[in-house]
Structures are given as C-alpha cells and as structure tokens.
Amino acid sequence: MQQEFSRKAKIRSAWIVALCLAGCPVLASAETIKAQLSTAPNVPSPITRTKQATVVVNIEAKEYVCTIAEG
C-alpha cells in the first residue's frame, strides 16, 4: 500500500515538473510592461491587451524607528 502511494506521488510530481518546464518558454516571450501605479480615485485605464505580459511593479519599503507616544 505504501509503495503504491509513493509511486503515485512520484508520478504526480513528475507531471507537475513537466508542466512547469513546458510553460517556461511562454513566460519568457511575454511582453514586459511597467505598472501604472496610482491611488483611488485616480485609477489607470482598464486592461485592453489580449496577449500575455509581465507587469513590473517597483516597490520601496522604508523603515522608521521613533516614539509614537509617551507612556
């Protein structure tokens, strides 16, 4: 019973890896677009593209150390 389960798990894993590798060239050929970031209500126009694209979002994180309130 354990060997049968292990064999099925190996087959599923092999299929998942194969599907991931098969999808990689599709992602590499996608167009790269820089994201248009804004805050509500100034939202960007609706997405009208019909082909795949990689949308790049640049985010900056800042860390502040300070006293919020005494006590």
Side chain identity, residue 1: M
In a domain, residue 49? The reply is yes
> In terms of pLDDT, which residue wins out, 61 or 3?
61
How many domains is the chain built from? 1
Domain membership of residue 45 (yes or no) is yes
User: 71 or 28: which carries more pLDDT confidence?
Assistant: 71
Task: Check if the beta carbon of residue 56 is closer than 8 Å to that of residue 33.
Answer: yes
Report the alpha-carbon distance of residue 25 to residue 22 in Å, rounded.
7
Alpha helices by DSSP H, listed for the chain, are 2-28
pTM: 0.41
What is the distance between the alpha carbons of residues 35 and 47, in angstroms, rounded to a whole number?
11
Asked if residue 71 is part of any domain, the answer here is no
Question: Does residue 13 fall inside a structural domain?
Answer: yes
69 found inside a domain? no
The answer to whether residue 67 is domain-embedded is no
Encode pLDDT of 24-64 as tens digits. 555 556 788 888 888 888 888 888 888 888 889 999 999 99
Q: What is the extent of the structural domain holding 22?
A: 2-56
Q: Where are the beta strands (DSSP E) in the chain?
A: 31-34, 53-56
CB distance 30 to 8 below 8 Å? no
